[in-house]
Structure 1
Amino acid sequence: MDFNMKKLASDAGIFFTRAVQFTEEKFGQAEKTELDANFENLLARADSTKNWTEKILRQTEVLLQPNPSARVEEFLYEKLDRKVPSRVTNGELLAQYMAEAASELGPTTPYGKTLTRVAEAEKHLGAAERDFIHTASINFLTPLRNFLEGDWKTISKERRLLQNRRLDLDACKARLKKAKAAEAKATCEGDTVPDFQETRPRNYILSASASALWNDEVDKAEQELRVAQTEFDRQAEVTRLLLEGISSTHVNHLRCLHEFVESQTTYYAQCYRHMLDLQKQLGSSQGAIFPGTFVGTTEPASPPLSSTSPTTTVATMPVGPSVAGLAPAGEAALCLEEVAPPASGTRKARVLYDYEAADSSELALLADELITVYSLPGMDPDWLIGERGNKKGKVPVTYLELLS
């Protein structure tokens, strides 16, 4: 108990000395040991790394989980070392609602069939989102969080210790300065007494004792200063090595950033592929769901396409993407080999995205290429006839930019 009280009193004394030194430095009443410029640059670089890592981490968490309540719940589970419960993504929840709606409203109706197809696509999108969140959390968020909760805490601890060592060093310097000043004063007071006096006055004896006392104080202060300087230099070197390790942290975070970009690219590629498949399914089913329904204005009929189909006519291309024209119900599908482009109404179109033909009646497209397009009566308004050289086939309007 006595030992603990002594240690407590010693710690309190050290704390008080540091507090006094820190306060005097703030008021400009005490000198402060300055670190070299390179060390200060390392400190500033480390602080900047920590601040931006925190911001990137927080915003990435918002990107992966926009719901703040869910983020708080996941944080609590992690702090309690418990497994985070599996969550249904928004896409999967939407797919569930659409599937239930299709089942109740009629799965064989056009609306029910479309709901089922969209629900399947949303389910795939939700699964892709789940994989992306999992991959990004492991490859990107975890290394950033490990740096803040591991390496940065170690750096902060050593920096606080270095600050204490610096305060101790400056306090020792101040004590040595005061001891030397007191010694000089005591020596000067003793020298004022004449040497020829046999009986020396009392003040000379006191001055001589004070001088000897301050000599001891100076020696003690110099010894404490040497110890404090050694401890400060050792701690400064340890802290410097940790701060120089920030460069390795940047390299590690760079690798994690590349992995994050790769996972995000994979996620968006999967979403694009699923939506293309859905678009093809919905585009090919438009004619069956809405047979003979077209929007636009009709143009006067052109000469017959062939002798075998004298009633088949062609329509001039409208200005907008919609195709004009009406077709009699039950008309047979046109044979592309027998279809000739109209004398007027053809347009140039630039392809926006790659398109893979679903069957022989469609024309495969490559992004940024130019093709000739035109419409025929009875065609689905979401499709046009496209020509590239001697190749011909149906192309989706949504993949084209019609040029004037």
Structure 2
Amino acid sequence: MDFNVKKLASDAGIFFTRAIQFTGEKFGQVEKTELDAHFENLLSRADSTKNWTEKIFRQTEVLLQPNPSSRIEEFLYEKLDRTVPSRPNNEELLGHYMQDAAKDFGPGTPYGSTLIKVGDCERRLGSVQREFLQTSAIGFLTPLRNFLEGDWRTISKERRLLENRRLDLDSCKARLKKAKLAESKAAAVPDFQETRPRNYVLSASASALWSEEVDKAEHELRVAQTEFDRQAEVTRLLLEGISSTHVNHLRCLHEFVEAQTAYYKQCHLHMQDLQKELDSSNGDVFPNAFAGNPGHSMASGGSSPLDPASAVETDTLKIEEVQAPATGTRKAKVLYDYDAADTSELSLLADELITVYTVPGMDSDWLVGERGNQKGKVPVTYLELLS
């Protein structure tokens, strides 16, 4: 118990001395040992690495898991060292809902069979996303987290220790400077002509005491300098290791990009397969697999039927000269309002019925529509063909 009390008193004294030194430095009242330029550059580089790694890590977490509640849940399970419960992601849930709806509507109906196919594709997309998230978490997030929670904590600890060693060193320097100043004053005090020998003896004794204090302060300074140099070397080696950290993070970044590339490539292939499957199965029902979706032509890479310039380039027929064929005309229901872009097109109103037909040389995204005496080009995606 006596030992603990002494140690506590010693630690309190050291802390108090460091606090005095730190306060004096802040007010410019005492000298401060400055680190060399190379060391300062290493410190600045380490701080920058930590700050940007932290930002990249947090934003990558948001990218991989946009739901804040799910991120908090995963964090809590990780801290409790428990496995996160496996739950279906959004794509998988959508796929399940579509397939359940198909069972209710009838899998043999056009809508039901299409729901089954799209739902199966969504489930496959969800599986691909799950694999991408796992790969990215292991290959990219984990190394960043290991640096922040491991290497950086070690560097921070050694930097704090180095700062304490510097404060101790500067305190020893200040103590030695003060002792030398007092010694010089004490040496100048004795008066050899002094008629009272007692005063002379006291002055000589004070000078000897300050001389001993100087010797003690010099010894403490040498010890403090040695500890500071040793700690500076340890800290410098850790800071120079930041270069290896950058190399490791660069490799992980390449792996993250490769994982993203594979993920988006697989998603694209699944969607292409789905589109081909829908085109082949629904070709007899709709002239376009996504009839009723005005954005399909643009999404599939073709020109939009709403683009007048595109229509003019692909269809140079004169509408007023086009005659309805003897056979091949069909009735169509208008799905959406459409305003004609020029005189060659026919404006449409939702839910009205018109007669449509095609003519040789016309763009497949357009038909000729007739309403009474009015005639003009109409976009296929705005129609539901009835007969």
**What is the TM-score with the length of structure 2 in the denominator?**
0.77
1:28 aligns with 2:24: no
Distance 2:183 2:252 in 1: 63
> Contact 1:169–1:229 at 8 Å: present in 2 too?
yes
Corresponding residue for residue 220 of structure 1: 216
Aligned to 1:185: 185
Confirm or deny that 1:287 pairs with 2:283: yes
**Residues 149-298 of structure 1: pairs in structure 2 closer than 5 A:** 149-190=149-190, 193-195=191-193, 199-290=195-286
Q: Which residue of 2 aligns with 1:8?
A: 8
1:36-81 CA distances to partner (integer Å, 9 max, x unpaired)? 0000000000000001111001100101100000000100111111
Q: Which amino acid aligns with 2:367?
A: A
Matching residue's letter, 2:65: Q
User: How many aligned positions are there?
Assistant: 316
- Whether the aligned pair in 1 keeps the contact of 2:358 and 2:368 (CA below 8 Å) is no
Q: Secondary structure at the match of 1:288?
A: coil
Task: Check 1:298–1:288 CA distance in 2 against 1; reply closer, same or farther (3 A cut).
Answer: farther
Match of 2:322 among 300, 325, 333: 300
Supply the AA of the counterpart residue of 1:226. R
Task: Check the 8 A contact 2:192/2:200 in 1, yes or no.
Answer: no
Q: Which residue of 1 aligns with 2:367?
A: 324
Structure 2 match to 1:73: 73
Change (3 A) 1:292 1:141: closer
Question: Could you say which residue in structure 2 is the equivalent of 1:19?
Answer: 19
Deviation at 1:85, TM superposition (A): 1.6
| Residues 301, 313 of structure 1: 8 Å contact kept | no
- Describe the shift of the 1:299–1:52 C-alpha distance in structure 2 as closer, same or farther (beyond 3 A): farther
How far apart are 1:301 and its partner, in Å?
A: 5.8
How far apart, CA to CA, are the structure 2 residues paired with 1:194 and 1:205? 10
C-alpha contact (below 8 Å) 1:298/1:315 kept by paired residues:
no
Task: Report SS of the residue matched to 1:274.
Answer: helix
* Alpha-carbon contact 1:158-1:239 (below 8 Å) kept: yes
In structure 2, C-alpha distance between the alignment counterparts of 1:120 and 1:298, rounded to whole Å: 47
Counterpart AA for 1:66: P
Q: Specify which structure has the higher proportion of helix.
A: 2
Contact 2:21 2:171 in 1 (8 A): yes
- 1:88 CA drift (Å): 1.0
Structure-2 residue corresponding to 1:315: 360
The equivalences for 1:308-387 within 5 A come to: 314-318=359-363, 322-324=365-367
| Alignment of structure 1 residues 3-152 onto 2, 5 Å | 3-152=3-152
1:288 alignment partner AA: D
Q: One-letter code of the match for 1:119?
A: G
Partners of 1:61 and 1:288 in 2: CA distance: 46
Q: 1:299 to 1:127 in 2, by over 3 A?
A: farther
SS at match of 1:148: helix
Aligned-pair CA distance for 1:204 = 2.3
* Aligned-residue offset at 1:298: 9.8
Q: Which structure 2 segments of 5+ residues have no match?
A: 293-304, 306-318, 327-356, 370-378, 382-387
| 2:101–2:115 contact (8 Å) kept in structure 1 | yes
Which consecutive residues of structure 1, in runs of 5 or more, have no partner in the other structure?
305-311, 327-379, 383-404
**C-alpha distance in structure 1 between counterparts of 2:264 and 2:287, whole Å:** 34
1:281 CA displacement: 1.5
CA distance in 2, matches of 1:203, 1:23: 39
Question: CA-to-partner distance for each residue in 1:342-361, whole Å, 9 max, x for gaps?
Answer: xxxxxxxxxxxxxxxxxxxx
Counterparts of 2:272 and 2:126, CA distance in 1: 16
AA partner of residue 164 (structure 2) = N
TM-score, normalising length: structure 1? 0.74
Percent identity, aligned pairs only?
72
User: How far apart are 1:285 and its partner, in Å?
Assistant: 2.9
**Which deviates the most, 13-22 or 199-208?**
199-208
> Which residue type is aligned with residue 268 of structure 1?
Y
Opposite residue 131 of structure 1, the aligned amino acid is E
Looking at structure 1, the residues matched to 358 and 285 of structure 2 have their Cα atoms a distance apart, in angstroms, of 24
Q: Report the more deviating stretch, 253-262 or 203-212.
A: 203-212
